[in-house]
Structure 1
Amino acid sequence: MDSSGKGSAAQADAEPWREALAWMLSLSLLFMLGYSASNRMAAASAHPASWHGPWDAAVPFWAWTIWPYLALNLMFPCTFFAFDTVRGLRAFAARIAAVQLACFASFVLAPTFNVRTLPQPDGVTGMLFSQLRAFEQPVNMFPSLHAAVLLLVWRAWLPHLRAHPAARLAWHGWCLLILISTVTTWQHDLADIAAGLALGGVALALPLGRLGKGAGNKKPAQP
């Protein structure tokens, strides 16, 4: 590897926030456009299915959990700036793109709908529900993109909390509350959450070890 390659790779890792900003904007745009388009196509389906079961009927509606539910929308863009190296950033971005595209395809090819009559709370909490429902149709249930992205975001911050047991425990608890909120807001059924977590687990298992290795990291050709 020549010195210029080393220099460019070192500079990229020294300032990963520049690429993080590009990935954050690009994948946020992919989410907004892909989610909206797949919702419209799924809503036009004549025969949407449902994974709602008797166990879902026992899940209570807790209006206040819309706050942790929507908190993921703030945590998601921030997570792109959690990486010290471009390699880790690119692996995270690839996994986010993979779960987004997989969910969009599922929403269109096998739409599932929410069979429950959704309550409308009062006050600021009710306003948050109204804004959420204005953006998404109740035909994007399975798998839960919220759960899949949450798993990736949860995993991305763990290295920073390795030396802080209390903060690490609080992080686990907060992410668990967000996961619970996906069902207590009646946005998803339990099967949706299981499928979303499975999808996120598959994304974490993707062999992305070579991402971020630029031309400067290539071995010179043998004479």
Structure 2
Amino acid sequence: MKRNKIPLNVWALLLFSLVFGLVYMGSLWYASSLHAVPSYAFSFEKYIPFLPWTIIPYLSSGFFFCYVFLQIHSREELFLYLKRLLFITIVAGICFFIFPLQYSVAKPDVPEPTFRLFFWLLHAVDDPYNQAPSLHVALAFAFWTVLGYQHSKWRYAIAGWLVLVGLSTLTTFQHHVFDLLAGSVLAQLSFVIFPRPEMGFRNRHVANFIFLGAWLTVSAAFLLAEFYDVSWLNLFWLAGFMFAAGYQLQRNSVYLLKLLPVNLAGEKYK
């Protein structure tokens, strides 16, 4: 009798789950064993509201954790996705061990029974450590690199939901803004180190470098404004231009490429 083989997607999911569990739980154990664990929050974060209903998009990350693996139909894409996730998880784990942080604000009471149950389940398996970089945010970026291609009809809905997943880390009082910035930088770094070889590859690779620079610029703007002067927030203009330029490069924009001193797309756009 011929035995059914376990799909490669499932093996990849099991491998990543094992690595993720070891890294995440190991760093939680380490942080909880320390006498004192610092925290870092920007001064404006006191105005961020606690929104209990956002526990739903926050917990939905667990669904995407498994679902995305099963949506990949190419061996090459599966290995690329796995390499990115392993890189994100291992680098984040190193940061958790070297720079342990904890969340610094107590959560308010949750009046709604359903949401209160969800928070209870979250607290049963998690602790207020493993803050920066936010794995929730970094993995949301990684999820998009697959779902943005596989579900073109639902592209905007999926993008909106993943943005909500990232923002929910703030409104569930699980992460500080610095953690989100660090998670965004880490995700973009994984795209730079492990690029997607495809049509328009050079443009996309350059775009990923630009996006990385944009996230670093946003992070610098927040930090410099916090420690020196709010005028540093003007760096957001530069970051916005970089995001726009990267987006146009990803789309192989003819107009933008003609403005560049080097035609990154080659003969196609001459």
Band the TM-score falls in, shorter-chain normalisation: 0.7 to 0.9
Change (3 A) 1:24 1:200: same
Q: Percent identity?
A: 26
Q: TM-score, normalised by structure 1?
A: 0.81
Counterpart CA distance in 2 for 1:77 and 1:57 is 34
Cα deviation for residue 17 of structure 1 reads 7.6
Count of residue pairs the alignment pairs up:
192
> Matches of residues 1-223 of structure 1 in structure 2 within 5 Å?
18-122=7-111, 123-162=113-152, 164=153, 167-207=154-194
Change (3 A) 1:209 1:75: closer
For 1:38, the aligned partner's letter is: S
Counterpart CA distance in 2 for 1:115 and 1:158 is 34
For 2:13, the aligned partner's letter is: M
For 1:137, the aligned partner's letter is: D
- Structure 2: give runs of 5+ residues left out of the alignment: 198-270
Cα deviation for residue 49 of structure 1 reads 2.3
Change (3 A) 1:86 1:17: farther
Cα deviation for residue 33 of structure 1 reads 2.5
Change (3 A) 1:34 1:120: farther
Counterpart CA distance in 2 for 1:154 and 1:207 is 15
Counterpart CA distance in 1 for 2:37 and 2:136 is 20
- Structure 1: give runs of 5+ residues left out of the alignment: 1-15, 211-223
Q: Which has the higher helix share?
A: 2
Q: Which has the higher contact order (CA 8 A, sep 6+)?
A: 1
Question: Displaced runs of 4+ in structure 1, greater than 4 A?
Answer: none
1:153-179: CA deviation from partner (whole Å, max 9, x where unpaired): 0121111234x3xx2111111111111
Cα deviation for residue 127 of structure 1 reads 1.5
Q: What is the CA RMSD across the aligned residues, in angstroms?
A: 1.8
Contact 1:17 1:81 in 2 (8 A): no
